[in-house]
Amino acid sequence: MTPLEIKHAIENAGSTQRKIARDCGVSDNMVRMVRLGERASRHIAEKISLTINRPINEIWPEMYVKKAAR
Closest by CA to 3, choosing from 24, 32, 45, 46, is 32
Domain range for 24 is 3-59
**Interval 4-10 mean pLDDT:** 97
The CA distance from 14 to 34, in Å, is 19
Helix axes 42-52, 3-12, angle to 10 degrees: 50
Flag whether 70 is in a domain. Answer: no
Can you give the pLDDT at residue 20? 97
Flag whether 34 is in a domain. Answer: yes
Flag whether 69 is in a domain. Answer: no
The CA distance from 43 to 25, in Å, is 10
Can you give the pLDDT at residue 65? 77
Flag whether 66 is in a domain. Answer: no
Flag whether 68 is in a domain. Answer: no
39 alpha carbon, distance to own chain's centre: 11
Provide the number of structural domains found in the chain. Answer: 1
CATH number at residue 10: 1.10.260.40
Flag whether 65 is in a domain. Answer: no
* Whole-structure pTM value: 0.87
- Please answer whether residues 1 and 59 qualify as being in contact, where contact means their C-beta atoms are separated by less than 8 angstroms: yes
